[in-house]
A and B are shown apart, each in its own frame.
Chain A
Amino acid sequence: MSTKLRILVPVKRVIDFAIKPRINKTQTGVETKGVKFSINPFCDIALEESIRIREADKDKVENIHAVSIGPTKAQDVLRTALAKGADNSTLVDVGDEEVEPLSVAKLLQKVVEKDNSNLVILGKQAIDDDANQTGQMLAGLLNWPQATNASKVEIDGDNVTVTREIDGGADTLRAKLPLIITTDLRLNEPRYASLPNIMKAKKKPLEKLKASDLGIELVKRIETLKVVEPPVRNAGIKVETVDELVSKLKELKAI
Chain B
Amino acid sequence: LETLAFIESSGAKISPASLSSVTAAKAIGKPITALIAGPHGAVIASDVAKVDGISKIILAKGDQYDHYLAEELSPLIKELLDTNTYTHFVIPASAVGKSVLPRVGALVDAQPISDIVKVESEDTFVRPIYAGNALSTVKSNDKLILTSVRASAFAPAPLSRDAPAPLEEYTASNASGNRTEFVSEDLVTSERPELGSAGKVVAGGRGLKNKETFEALIEPLATKLNAAVGASRAAVDSGFCDNSLQVGQTGKIVAPDLYIAIGISGAIQHLAGMKDSKTIVAINKDPEAPIFNVADIGLVADLTEVVPELTQKL
* Contact pick for B134, options A23, A161, A172, A221, CB 8 Å: A23
Q: Are B102 and A137 neighbours in the complex by a CB distance under 8 Å?
A: yes
Q: Are A235 and B95 neighbours in the complex by a CB distance under 8 Å?
A: no
Q: Which of B78-134 contact A (CB under 8 A)?
A: 94-96, 98-107, 109-115, 124, 128-134
Closest Cβ–Cβ distance, residue A246 to chain B (whole Å): 5
Check A237 for interface membership: any CB of B closer than 8 A. yes
* Contact pick for B98, options A15, A132, A169, A240, CB 8 Å: A132
Give the A interface residue count (CB, 8 A): 76
Check B162 for interface membership: any CB of A closer than 8 A. no
A172-B110 contact, Cβ under 8 Å, with A233-B294, A242-B309? no
Q: Are B138 and A222 neighbours in the complex by a CB distance under 8 Å?
A: yes
Q: Which chain A residue lies CB-closest to B252? A: A167
CB-defined contacts of B278 to chain A, threshold 8 Å: 254
Most A CB atoms within 10 A — which of B71, B138, B258, B297? B297
Q: Which of B283-314 contact A (CB under 8 A)?
A: 292-300, 306, 309-310, 313-314
Q: Are A170 and B243 neighbours in the complex by a CB distance under 8 Å?
A: yes
Check A239 for interface membership: any CB of B closer than 8 A. yes
A54 to B153 Cα, complex, angstroms: 43
- Stretch in A57-65, A86-94, A97-105, A197-205 touching the partner: A97-105
Q: Are B111 and A221 neighbours in the complex by a CB distance under 8 Å?
A: yes
Most A CB atoms within 10 A — which of B104, B178, B184? B184
Q: Mark A139-154, 1 if CB is under 8 A from B, else 0.
A: 1110101111101000
CB-defined contacts of A220 to chain B, threshold 8 Å: 141
Q: Are B131 and A226 neighbours in the complex by a CB distance under 8 Å?
A: no
A236 to B94 Cα, complex, angstroms: 32
* Contact pick for B244, options A168, A173, A240, CB 8 Å: A168
Q: Are B106 and A137 neighbours in the complex by a CB distance under 8 Å?
A: yes
A111 to B129 Cα, complex, angstroms: 28
Q: Which of B264-289 contact A (CB under 8 A)?
A: 268, 275, 278-281
Q: Are A237 and B297 neighbours in the complex by a CB distance under 8 Å?
A: yes
A171 to B179 Cα, complex, angstroms: 17
Q: Are B184 and A172 neighbours in the complex by a CB distance under 8 Å?
A: yes
* 5 pairs of A and B residues whose beta carbons are closest in the complex: A140-B106, A236-B296, A136-B102, A133-B102, A221-B111
For the complex with contacts A172-B184, A230-B135, 18 further pairs of A-B residues with Cβ separation under 8 Å are A23-B134, A136-B102, A137-B102, A141-B106, A147-B180, A165-B244, A168-B188, A170-B244, A171-B182, A172-B186, A173-B69, A173-B181, A173-B183, A222-B139, A230-B275, A235-B293, A238-B292, A241-B299
Q: Which residues of A are interface residues toward B (Cβ below 8 A)?
A: 15, 20-21, 23, 30, 100-102, 105, 127-141, 143, 145-149, 151, 161, 164-176, 184-186, 220-230, 233, 235-243, 245-246, 248-249, 252, 254-255
